[in-house]
Amino acid sequence: MKKEHDKVNKKYGMVVDLDKCTGCGSCMVACMSENNVPFKEDESNKLDSITWMRVYKVSNKKPYPNNEVFYIPRPCQHCGGQHEGHSPCVSVCPATATDYDYTTGIVSQVYTRCFGCRYCMAACPYHARYFNWWDPVWPDGMEKYLSPNVSPRMRGIVEKCSFCFHRYQVAMEEVYGSDDKEALEEGDYQTACTQACPAGAITFGDLNDETHAVHKLKDDKNAFRLLERLGTNTKIYYISEREWVRRAGDNYNPGEKTGSVKYKTEGH
Amino acid sequence: MSTIDEKYQKVVVSPVDEIIGSEKGSSAIILVFFIAGLVASLVVGWVIFPKVLYSQKKQPFDFSHEVHSEQVEECTGCHFFRDDGTFAGVPKLAQCAECHEEVQGDTPNEKVFVEEYVAKEKEVPWLIYSKQPDCVFFSHAAHVKKAEMECKECHGDIGTSKSLKVYEENRLTGISRDVWGKSIGGFKSNTWDSMKMDVCAKCHEKHARQKEKETKHEQKNNYKGACFQCHK
């Protein structure tokens, strides 16, 4: 039985509690510094700035006193697609620069293979991919503070959230190299945004592993995913007790019940 | 009019006659010219260009692995794994100073080491032959401990060498020549002749295919490779 369980691939995912998220942006900051994301002096033009993790503010657009907002952190959704591996970006990439990693369920981006055609950006329904319009310019001395485990990207290629894959690489190295560690535990591999969130709104782990918190959280009755009816089968789940928040996660027709567009996932 | 015609004929017709007349001789000249050009291009491409491309750097001082391997049994005696599984690589000064507090033996290199580095507590700026480019994640633990590969498979006979070879650096990329390897044609007689991506991919692909066979049926034929294993 144990052996059979071992053969099930990992499927890393995230559950974000939107009722806990205050929109502080710590996850965005942590992500940028962890992943050596380049920035410019003026970041106000969001069309050419890069934010792997992006917090959006959503309003119910009702006048005071009924006005309400929620904040939604949006990393790469790591779509599994209708059959595992059929992610929108992976299927259009002509260079195999982006691929679906079956062992972890992570959608990869190999910078040295990408030649910047941006098909993937067009295919991505979540705007999770960003193009480097310029070579990165680090302020004086900052080069020494860059994360050594993430290679900086050059002009002309696409980048996106990797679920801090380099942390997985390092964690696995410890499993292989140290004598007293046999398997990866939940705490061994966590993304930078998860650890940085002061509200504890983000939970990260293996969706297939019953011992991980996300395994249970994803089946919460208030859990939903973004644009589920597209069948992208994403690995980022959001939770909110407020119905209008859950309803904002997809394009509902009038009269359609909230949560009725759930995409059914097959075991995997 | 007629004079112009005659001139015209002289100019145009005569070279044609010549070519037809000396066809054999000139084709030989063309062939020789072509071969000479080819040889020259090959010499430029295979001999001169690599010389220009790679700068030759000397290590701070010479080091004999042979002498040390008599004292220390295994490679991991000096090049050890840390407790967290990471690989320490080239030893730090403190590690060497355990034995080399004072000059041992009478080689000039030993004197340089003890006087210039140990006494001044200065780390030796070794040039690392197998240092990978920035975009590569390489785990020694995964290869040496998990896959049980020998050090020699990548690093060659350095463990028994008497002196350090010249470090050749690609002037354009700043990467050691050992990564690409010396054979321009890509032919290798030893596993350690080059450490190009193809070499890594060969084995990683094999394992990916193996894994593909073991996984569920709907995931079959989806493995494109194992790029994300090493790229970061």
What integer best gives the mean pLDDT of chain B?
84
Cross-strand partners of A18 = none
Q: Note whether A113 contacts B81, CB cutoff 8 Å.
A: no
* A168, A256, B140, B165, B176 from B56: Cα distances, Å: 37, 72, 27, 10, 10
How many angstroms separate the CA atoms of B36 and B199, rounded?
A: 35
Q: Which residues of A touch B227 (CB under 8 A)?
A: 96, 99, 108, 110, 113
- Domain membership of residue A37 (yes or no) is yes
The counts of H helices and E strands in chain A are 8, 10
Q: Report domain extents, chain B.
A: 2-56
How many angstroms separate the CA atoms of B50 and B229, rounded?
A: 31
Per-residue pLDDT tens over the stretch B156-177: 888 889 999 999 999 999 999 9
What is the predicted pLDDT for the residue at B224? 67
How many other CB atoms sit within 10 Å of the CB of residue B43? Answer: 11
* Structural contact between residues A129 and A88, judged by C-beta atoms closer than 8 angstroms: no
Token representation of residue B132: 């990978």
* Percent share of chain B, pLDDT over 70: 85
| Reported ipTM exceeds the 0.95 cut | no
β pairing state of A130-131 and A158-159: antiparallel
* A108, A134, A157 from A97: Cα distances, Å: 8, 19, 10
Place of tokens 């909230």: A258
Q: Which residues of A touch B142 (CB under 8 A)?
A: 172-173, 176-177
* Structural contact between residues A191 and A208, judged by C-beta atoms closer than 8 angstroms: no
Q: Which residue has the higher pLDDT, A183 or A263?
A: A183
**Does residue A268 have a pLDDT over 50?**
no
- Calculate how close chain B gets to A181, using CA atoms only, in Å: 9
3-state helix, strand, coil in chain A (%, to 5): 25, 15, 60
Q: Which residues of B touch A9 (CB under 8 A)?
A: 215
- Domain membership of residue A266 (yes or no) is no
**Does residue B14 have a pLDDT over 60?**
no
* Lowest-pLDDT range of A218-222, A238-242, B137-141, B228-232: B228-232
Q: Which of A30, A103, A179 has its CA nearest to residue B215?
A: A103
> For residue A156, which amino acid is it?
G
Of B83, B218, B224, the CB nearest to A178: B83
pTM over 0.90: no
* Structural contact between residues A15 and A194, judged by C-beta atoms closer than 8 angstroms: no
Per-residue pLDDT tens over the stretch B55-84: 999 999 999 999 898 888 889 889 999 988
* A145, A174, B51, B201 from A149: Cα distances, Å: 12, 15, 33, 21
Of B86, B214, B228, the CB nearest to A177: B86
DSSP class of B136:
B
**Does residue A141 have a pLDDT over 80?**
yes
- Domain membership of residue A134 (yes or no) is yes
- Domain membership of residue A253 (yes or no) is no
Token representation of residue A64: 């005071």
What integer best gives the mean pLDDT of chain A?
91
How many angstroms separate the CA atoms of B227 and B220, rounded?
A: 17
Kindly tell me the sign of the dihedral angle through the C-alpha atoms of A138, A141, A144, A145. Answer: negative
User: Domain of A60?
Assistant: 2-247
Token representation of residue A159: 């980048």
What is the predicted pLDDT for the residue at B223? 65
Per-residue pLDDT tens over the stretch B80-127: 999 888 999 999 999 898 888 888 888 888 888 998 899 899 999 999
- What's the CATH code of the domain at A116? 3.30.70.20
How many angstroms separate the CA atoms of B128 and B164, rounded?
A: 11
Token representation of residue A180: 């007293």
β pairing state of A12-17 and B167-170: unpaired
How many angstroms separate the CA atoms of B224 and B204, rounded?
A: 11
| Domain count along chain A | 1
DSSP class of A152:
P
* Structural contact between residues A262 and A222, judged by C-beta atoms closer than 8 angstroms: no
Q: Give the DSSP H/E element, type plus range, for residue B189.
A: none
The confidence band for B179, taking pLDDT boundaries of 50, 70 and 90, is confident
Token representation of residue B150: 């020998």
Average pLDDT over residues A233-250: 95
* Lowest-pLDDT range of A67-71, A74-78, A250-254, B16-20: B16-20
Size of interface A-B (CB pairs under 8 A): 86
- Domain membership of residue A57 (yes or no) is yes
| DSSP per-residue letters across A61-77 | -PPTTS--EEEEEE---
What is the predicted pLDDT for the residue at B99? 86
Best of B134, B197, B228, B229 to disrupt the A interface by mutation (most A CBs within 10 Å)? Answer: B228
